[in-house]
C-alpha cells in the first residue's frame, strides 16, 4: 500500500550563475522617494466618509450619549451610562431616539422617576425629535456591566 518510490541522484559538473543586477538599472533614492510620494498623495487626499449623524460616531448619536452620561444614579456616584444601565441607544433617520435600559434592581427607589428623567434629558438634546425609554429586566443588571471608569470611581479596581 505504501510503496516507496526510488529516488535518482543526478550529478552535474556545474551550474550557470544567474545574471547579476546592474546598478545602472536600480532606482536612485530620489526616484524611489518620488514614487512613494505619488502613492501617498492620493491616499492622504482622501477624506474619511462623514459619519451619519444618527449612527455611532455621528454628532446626534454622540450628543445623546453625552446627555446620558450627565444623568447620575442617586445612590451611586456614577452616571447611568458607565454604570451599565443603558443596554441600547437607537437613533432613527427621523431623529427619534429609543433607549433600552434597566435599573440596578426592580425595587430601585427611582424606578418610577428615572425613565422619565432619561426621556426628558435625551428629548432636550438639540436635533432630537422624540425620545422613548423602554425598561427591561432581562438580562438583569450586575456589576460586570459597569465600565472600568465606574469601577475605578467605586474603588472596585
In a domain, 82, yes or no: yes
Helix, strand, coil tally for the chain in percent (to 5):
30, 15, 55
* The pLDDT value given to residue 40: 66
In a domain, 134, yes or no: yes
Q: Render each residue's pLDDT in the chain as its tens digit; 157 residues.
A: 567 888 888 888 888 888 877 766 677 777 777 666 666 666 677 777 777 777 777 889 999 999 999 999 888 889 999 999 999 999 998 999 999 999 988 888 888 889 999 999 999 999 999 999 999 999 999 999 999 988 988 888 7
Contact present, 94 and 81 (Cβ < 8 Å):
no
Contact present, 64 and 58 (Cβ < 8 Å):
no
The CATH number covering residue 119 comes to 3.30.300.130
Tally of CB atoms within 10 A around 18: 6
* Integer Cα distance of 18 and 79 in angstroms: 71
DSSP structure string for 49-88: PPPPTTSTTSHHHHHHHHHHTT-B-SSSSSBTTTTT-EEE
Give the H or E element holding residue 97. strand 96-101
Q: Considering only CA atoms, which of 148, 150, 136, 54 is closest in space to residue 87?
A: 136
In a domain, 46, yes or no: no
Q: What angle do CA 85, 88, 89 make, to 5 degrees?
A: 115
The contacts of residue 112 (CB under 8 Å, 6+ apart) are none
In a domain, 34, yes or no: no
Q: What is the pTM of this model?
A: 0.65
In a domain, 76, yes or no: yes
In a domain, 47, yes or no: no
Range(s) of the domain holding residue 72: 59-153
In a domain, 102, yes or no: yes
Q: What's the number of domains the chain is made of?
A: 1
Amino acid at each position: 500500500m505504501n510503496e516507496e518510490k526510488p529516488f535518482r541522484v543526478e550529478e552535474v559538473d556545474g551550474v550557470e550563475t544567474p545574471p547579476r543586477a546592474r546598478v545602472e538599472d536600480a532606482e536612485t533614492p530620489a526616484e524611489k522617494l518620488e514614487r512613494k510620494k505619488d502613492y501617498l498623495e492620493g491616499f492622504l487626499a482622501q477624506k474619511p466618509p462623514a459619519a451619519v449623524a444618527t449612527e455611532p460616531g455621528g454628532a446626534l448619536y454622540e450628543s445623546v450619549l453625552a446627555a446620558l452620561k450627565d444623568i447620575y444614579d442617586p445612590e451611586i456616584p456614577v452616571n447611568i451610562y458607565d454604570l451599565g444601565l443603558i443596554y441600547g441607544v437607537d437613533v432613527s433617520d427621523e431623529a427619534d431616539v429609543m433607549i433600552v435600559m434597566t435599573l440596578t434592581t426592580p425595587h430601585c427607589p427611582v424606578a418610577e422617576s428615572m425613565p422619565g428623567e432619561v426621556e426628558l434629558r435625551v428629548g432636550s438634546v438639540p436635533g432630537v425629535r422624540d425620545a422613548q425609554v423602554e425598561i427591561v429586566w432581562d438580562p438583569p443588571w450586575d456589576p460586570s456591566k459597569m465600565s472600568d471608569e465606574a469601577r475605578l470611581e467605586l474603588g472596585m479596581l
